Structure 1
Amino acid sequence: MTLENDSSHWMWLKLLCLTIIATLIFEHSQFDIRISELFYTNGQWLIQKGAQPYAFIFYDGPKTLLILSAIYLLAILIVKYRKSSNNTYIANSKFNKFIVPFSIREISYLLIILIAVPSTIALLKGVTHVSCPNHLTLFGGDLPYLNIWQNMLTKTDVKCFPAAHASAGFSLYGLAFLPTLHKYRYRIFEIVTVLGWTMGLYKMLFGDHFFSHTLVSMLLSLTIACALAGVFFKRAAISS
Structure 2
Amino acid sequence: MITQPAVGFYRRQSLWLLASACLLLLLFELTRLDYWISNAFYDAASRTFPLQNAWFLETVVHKWVKYALLTLAVGLGVQAWRTRGSERRFYLFLVAGMLLAPTVVSLLKAISDRPCPWGTLEYGGSLPHLPLWQSLPAGLKPGHCFPGGHASGGFGLLVFWFWGRQHSSRRAALLWSGALLLGLLMGWSQVARGAHFLSHNLWSAWVCWAVIVALHALCYGRKAVSLQASEATLPE
Question: TM-score, normalized by length of structure 1?
Answer: 0.80
Q: Shift of the alpha carbon at 1:23?
A: 4.5
Match of 1:207 in 2: 194
Q: Shift of the alpha carbon at 1:229?
A: 2.9
The answer (yes or no) to whether the contact 1:163–1:200 under 8 Å persists in 2 is yes
Match of 2:143 in 1: 158
- Write out aligned runs for 1:45-64 (5 A): 45-49=49-53, 51-64=54-67
* Residues 1:69 and 2:72 aligned together: yes
Distance in 1 between residues matched to 2:23 and 2:11, nearest whole Å: 18
* Residues 1:125 and 2:109 aligned together: yes
* Residues 1:107 and 2:91 aligned together: yes
Distance in 1 between residues matched to 2:141 and 2:23, nearest whole Å: 23
- Write out aligned runs for 1:1-240 (5 A): 7-28=8-29, 29-42=31-44, 43-49=47-53, 51-81=54-84, 103-151=87-135, 156-178=141-163, 179-182=165-168, 183-231=170-218, 232=220, 233-235=224-226, 236=229, 238-240=234-236
The answer (yes or no) to whether the contact 2:173–2:235 under 8 Å persists in 1 is no
Q: Shift of the alpha carbon at 1:140?
A: 1.0
Distance in 2 between residues matched to 1:22 and 1:118, nearest whole Å: 22
The answer (yes or no) to whether the contact 2:34–2:199 under 8 Å persists in 1 is yes
Q: Shift of the alpha carbon at 1:33?
A: 1.1
Q: Shift of the alpha carbon at 1:37?
A: 0.7
Distance in 2 between residues matched to 1:48 and 1:208, nearest whole Å: 8
The answer (yes or no) to whether the contact 2:117–2:195 under 8 Å persists in 1 is yes
Distance in 2 between residues matched to 1:115 and 1:181, nearest whole Å: 24
Q: Shift of the alpha carbon at 1:197?
A: 0.6
Query: Whose relative contact order is higher, 1 or 2, with alpha carbons under 8 Å and at least 6 apart?
Result: 1
In the TM superposition, what whole-angstrom CA distance separates every residue of 1:124-180 from its partner, at most 9, and x where no partner exists? 112222111110110111112212222367573321111111011011011111243
Q: Identify if the C-alpha distance between structure 1 residues 153 and 168 changes in structure 2 by more than 3 Å, giving closer, same or farther.
A: farther
Q: Shift of the alpha carbon at 1:224?
A: 2.2
In the TM superposition, what whole-angstrom CA distance separates every residue of 1:26-56 from its partner, at most 9, and x where no partner exists? 444311111111111232314023x313222
| Residue identity opposite 2:202 in structure 1 | L
Where in structure 2 are there 5+ consecutive unaligned residues? Answer: none
Q: Identify if the C-alpha distance between structure 1 residues 131 and 220 changes in structure 2 by more than 3 Å, giving closer, same or farther.
A: same
Distance in 2 between residues matched to 1:239 and 1:79, nearest whole Å: 31
Q: Shift of the alpha carbon at 1:15?
A: 3.3
- For residue 9 of structure 2, give the secondary structure of its aligned residue in structure 1: coil
| Residue identity opposite 1:15 in structure 2 | W
Where in structure 1 are there 5+ consecutive unaligned residues? Answer: 85-101
Give the count of matched residue pairs: 216
The answer (yes or no) to whether the contact 1:15–1:223 under 8 Å persists in 2 is no
In the TM superposition, what whole-angstrom CA distance separates every residue of 1:59-115 from its partner, at most 9, and x where no partner exists? 11110011111111111111214xx6xxxxxxxxxxxxxxxxx92232121111112
Computed over aligned residues only, the root mean square deviation of the Cα atoms, in angstroms, reads 2.4
The percentage of counterpart residues that share the same residue type is: 25
In the TM superposition, what whole-angstrom CA distance separates every residue of 1:180-234 from its partner, at most 9, and x where no partner exists? 3434112112211210110000000121111111111112212222333334322
Q: Identify if the C-alpha distance between structure 1 residues 23 and 153 changes in structure 2 by more than 3 Å, giving closer, same or farther.
A: farther
